[in-house]
Structure 1
Amino acid sequence: MENLETVLLESKRLMLQAISLEYADSVFREFTSEITTFMYPKPAQSIRETEKIIKDMIQQRENKTDLVLVILKKDNLEFLGICEVGAIDTDTPELGIWLKKLAHGFGFGREAISVLKNWVDKNLKYNYLSYPVDKRNIPSRKIAESLGGRVFREFQQINNSGNLLDEIEYRIYK
């Protein structure tokens, strides 16, 4: 596997690069309670908390367990959100993504996850990719389905904000 710190992925409109503390302000500002409605994590309460979360992500990258990438618009390097592949040291890695509110509805999520999956296919050995998503999050479900994802199971869990998530786990095969 290549050096995860130097992963740089590009598509027609996007550039994905390893997360760094440089993006702490953007993550803190854009990772809001509205964005996390259908997600397990909750928004950070302070910039310091965001910085700690990013440092943990960097440590996970160094440990080769997770790869978290910032999503930038290629033409002006505008921060759009984050995508990741977690559990890369297993045979069932997990894909995830979030985009800031103003980036919704333009197909950026599908484009970013497609590029990330191409990287995964070239660099990781896996049985399948897991893509958990709340049933109500139709745009995210469409991303999984666009990659051939099939519903494997349904379950409920309480997220870190105390809300009930009604989850579907998609499995995506090579």
Structure 2
Amino acid sequence: MNLLDVGIVTNRLVLKPISMEYKDNTFLEFTEEITTYMCPQSPREISETEAFIQEGITQLKIGSDLRVVILKKETQEFLGCAGIHNIKQQHPELGIWLKKAAHGNKYGLEVITALKDWTDTNIIYEYLSYPVDRRNIASRKIPEALGGQISREYEYIQIDGNTLYLLEYRIYSSS
């Protein structure tokens, strides 16, 4: 399967493979505020964003990760990025971030539901993993809406010394 050709369309959104076309949007919107409860930290220079995108393109080419940009269907406005990581494994991991202006519209649930549906159709897996900081209530609602159950809790210390208190949800296939 060529992940560079994957396109997913929902009622309001388009998910398409990550590309350098969105490097400026990604750099500007992946801010410290957005990464408060995330393992990756916001980039300080555009070259860090370019490296992130290039890694995503490489992962698409080798078929290990489906990394996508999230666009509004009607306007093509950039909203954020999402992905299914380690799709060749039994426990792929879902991840998402949305720019601040896109919060509160249930785009996250729409994106993760679409990625789960795509995975159910195209990948054989035991369950999807969805790690989220326990303090990030809005993000916790996403796996819970999909029937996800907490399988473990652990701490992750970021490079800057901040601690994340992660809950790892398991979301099982509908098929």
Does the residue aligned with 2:56 lie in a helix, a strand or coil? helix
Paired with 2:166 and 2:76, the residues of 1 have a C-alpha distance of 33
> Is 1:88 matched up with 2:72?
no
1:54 matches 2:68: no
* Aligned-partner residue type, residue 22 of structure 2: Y
Gaps of 5+ in 2: none
AA aligned opposite 2:115: L
Question: Which position in structure 1 is the counterpart of 2:158?
Answer: 159
Quote the offset at 1:160 in angstroms.
3.4
Name 1:117's counterpart in structure 2. 116
Give the CA deviation at 1:8: 0.5
**Contact 1:41-1:160 at 8 Å conserved across structures:** no
Query: Secondary structure in 2 aligned to 1:24?
Result: helix
Counterpart for residue 36 of structure 2:
37
Alpha-carbon separation, structure 2, partners of 1:129 and 1:162: 28
Which residue identity is paired with 2:40?
P
Cα distance, 1:167 vs structure 2: 0.5
SS in 2 for 1:168: strand
- Aligned-residue Cα RMSD (Å) equals 0.7
For 2:94 and 2:75, how far apart are their aligned partners in 1?
Answer: 26
SS, match of residue 45 in structure 1: coil
Structure 1 segments unaligned to the other structure (5+ residues): none
Q: CA deviation at 1:161?
A: 3.5
Runs of 4+ more than 3 Å apart = none
Count, aligned residues:
173
Equivalent residue of 2:125, what SS?
coil
Residue identity in the other structure for 1:119: W
- Where does residue 169 of structure 2 map in the other structure? 170
Report deviation, 1:163.
1.0
**In structure 1, the residue corresponding to 2:49 is in which secondary structure?**
helix
Partners of 1:96 and 1:53 in 2: CA distance: 14
How big is each residue's C-alpha offset from its partner over 1:37-63, in whole Å with a ceiling of 9 and x where there is no partner? 000000111111111110011111111
TM-score, normalization by structure 1:
0.97
